Amino acid sequence: MIKNDLIFKTIDLNIDTSCLPTPIYIVDERLLEKNLKILKDVMDRTSCRILLAQKAFSMFSLYPVISKYLSGTAASSLFEARLGFEEMKGKEVHIYSPAYREDEFDEIIGICDHIIFNSFSQWNKYKDRIRTSNKKIECGLRINPEYSEIETDIYNPCSIGSRLGITLENFKGNDLDGIDGLHFHTMCEQNSDVLKRTIEVVDKKFGKYIKKMKWINFGGGHHITRPDYDINTLVECIMYIKNKYDVEVYLEPGEAIALNAGYLAAGVMDFVKNNIDIAILDTSAACHMPDVIEMPYRPKIIGTGEPDQYPYTYRLGGLTCLAGDIIGDYSFKEPLQEGDILIFTDMAIYTMVKNNTFNGVNLPTIASYSEKNGLKIIKKFGYEDFKMRLS
Give the pLDDT of residue 207: 97
Does the pLDDT at position 376 exceed 70?
A: yes
Give the pLDDT of residue 66: 98
Around 226, how many Cα atoms within 13 Å sit in the side-chain half-sphere?
A: 17
Torsions phi, psi of 323, nearest 5? -60, -30
Does the pLDDT at position 290 exceed 70?
A: yes
Give the separation between CA 35 and CA 25, rounded to whole angstroms: 18
Give the separation between CA 138 and CA 341, rounded to whole angstroms: 49
| Gyration radius (Cα) of the chain, Å | 22
Give the list of residues 6+ apart from residue 363 with CB closer than 8 angstroms, or none. 287, 288, 355, 357, 381, 385
Give the separation between CA 145 and CA 343, rounded to whole angstroms: 40
Around 306, how many Cα atoms within 13 Å sit in the side-chain half-sphere?
A: 1
Please, which pLDDT band fits residue 15 given cuts at 50, 70 and 90? low
Q: Is the peptide bond before 296 cis (omega within 30 degrees of 0)?
A: yes
Helices (H) and strands (E) in the chain, counts: 12, 16
Q: Mean of the pLDDT values across residues 184-196?
A: 96
Q: Is the peptide bond before 145 cis (omega within 30 degrees of 0)?
A: no
Q: Mean of the pLDDT values across residues 112-121?
A: 98
Does the pLDDT at position 7 exceed 50?
A: no
Does the pLDDT at position 342 exceed 80?
A: yes
Give the separation between CA 87 and CA 101, rounded to whole angstroms: 23
Residue-averaged pLDDT of the chain: 94
Give 325 or 20, the one with higher predicted confidence.
325
Q: What pTM was computed for the model?
A: 0.93
Give the pLDDT of residue 10: 44
Does the pLDDT at position 270 exceed 50?
A: yes
- Per the CB < 8 A criterion, the answer to whether 99 and 73 are in contact is no
Amino acid residing at 363: L
What does the pLDDT look like over 58-93, one tens digit per residue?
Answer: 999 999 999 999 999 999 999 999 999 999 999 999
Question: Domain locations in the chain?
Answer: 6-28+261-387, 47-258
Q: Mean of the pLDDT values across residues 106-133?
A: 97
CATH number assigned to the domain covering 6-28+261-387? 2.40.37.10
Which stretches of the chain are assigned E, i.e. beta strand? Answer: 24-28, 49-53, 72-75, 92-96, 114-117, 138-142, 181-183, 215-217, 248-251, 262-273, 277-281, 312-317, 326-332, 341-345, 365-370, 374-379
* Architecture category of domain 47-258 in CATH: Alpha-Beta Barrel (3.20)
